[in-house]
Structure 1
């Protein structure tokens, strides 16, 4: 069993936090690529383009070579949403974690530490325009290093955010996660989150069929108050 504790982010954690987060996101690229290869539009591309090349050039050898060109291109395409997402995060809220989270009222950034190393991260910020009558906290940046999974660290990090939300008087915790992030989706369902919708963040994510699931966790205290 892995021993760990959770505490607020400190500036000296920054490099390790970035490594855990970036590595965790890029692990999804092979899954996205395999998923992309099952899409009808991808199969049509892999069949249609070589056939068109063969008909135009009269060379089946060139058609086969075309497939070997298309596969690396598709792998590159499948990886772009994840790489773009990491780049965006590192140039926005994660460029200065203290400023984005610890200096903001009702926000926070926590790390899980084991053996003196950061092995997990999670963050939360207030939702700027919540539904009328609601005070919502959005969970971000949940990631656990591959060597430390299966020990309840992700669940403990989510519970940290839920407890923080209760203490701060929030009515709900909301989050978004990719459909292909199977373990994360299962975790949120198992902890009582419920799905509220599904969408694509941009055209590229639609193209590779990587949708985003929206979740909500109504806090018990808010439910009891409504009763």
Structure 2
């Protein structure tokens, strides 16, 4: 199953969705952290708006000034706190990147293409990988297919590529006979939330993956897309 996505403007090249190949690895592993790191600034801004953060940013410098009588020390304390919060925002996403690179992204061919029921696709434009998505089986009975690592390069967004990738996963799930497509995304990934809801995914629940995420009030939201459980059209992961 291949797709050609014509860009909105005739001067732009078409995009081709195809199955992942091993020689895509370098580009995929470059695109993945690039997409995740875009959320660092959003996370930092979110943390700064929290009431507890505002109290800390105002209270700590004031306390230092009252104790030391030095505005310079108070300013240094404020800047140090801001740097620490910025570092925390970076660490949260870097931990997710590192975990992914140690698990399913460490060997895409093995985890996604080694067995029927899972797959990984890339979007190619002019020989470059500009998008990707994975679909990983979560149960032996083929009930749930998990959508993972949906990512489109920033310069190729707003052209329907992400939507086409999600449709690719949904069609694969239908062909394979899955009854559900599931995924998780954070509250801060607003464009992803809007996309999934627009395409018919339903919220199941939300949770905090760790105490740090709870502390900064960023829940992870779980979604599900229900499919008919009909295995009559079961197919293998499509080739290029």
Tell me whether the two structures share a fold, i.e. TM-score over 0.5.
Answer: yes
Cα distance, 1:128 vs structure 2: 3.3
User: 2:170 maps to which residue?
Assistant: 162
Greater than 3 Å deviation, 4+ residue runs: none
Alpha-carbon RMSD: 1.6
Match of 1:25 in 2: 36
Contact 1:111 1:120 in 2 (8 A): yes
- Quote the residue 2:127 is aligned against: 116
Q: Which residue of 1 aligns with 2:238?
A: none
Gaps of 5+ in 2: 1-6, 231-240
TM-superposed deviation, 1:58: 2.5
Aligned pairs for 1:172-187 (under 5 A) are 172-187=180-195
Name the SS for the 2:173 alignment partner. helix
Supply the distance in 1 between the matched residues of 2:60 and 2:115 (Cα, whole angstroms).
52
- Residue number in structure 1 paired with 2:137: 126
Q: Does 1:36 align with 2:44?
A: no
Find the residue that maps to 2:130 and give its secondary structure. strand
Instruction: Indicate the larger mover: 121-130 or 149-158.
Output: 121-130
- TM-score, with length taken from structure 1: 0.92
Check the 8 A contact 1:78/1:208 in 2, yes or no.
no
Measured in 2, the distance between the counterparts of 1:102 and 1:222 equals 22
- The count of corresponding residues between Structure 1 and Structure 2 is 219
Counting only pairs closer than 5 Å after superposition, residues 1-227 of structure 1 correspond to structure 2 as 1=7, 2=12, 3-128=14-139, 135-219=143-227, 221-222=228-229
Secondary structure of 2:171's counterpart equals helix
> What is the CA–CA distance in structure 1 between the aligned matches of 2:62 and 2:138, rounded to whole Å?
50
Gap runs ≥5 in structure 1: none
- Structure with more helix by fraction: 1
Is the 8 Å Cα contact of residues 77 and 208 (structure 1) preserved in structure 2? no
Looking at structure 1, the residues matched to 87 and 201 of structure 2 have their Cα atoms a distance apart, in angstroms, of 33
- In the TM superposition, what is the alpha-carbon distance from 1:129 to its structure 2 partner? 8.1
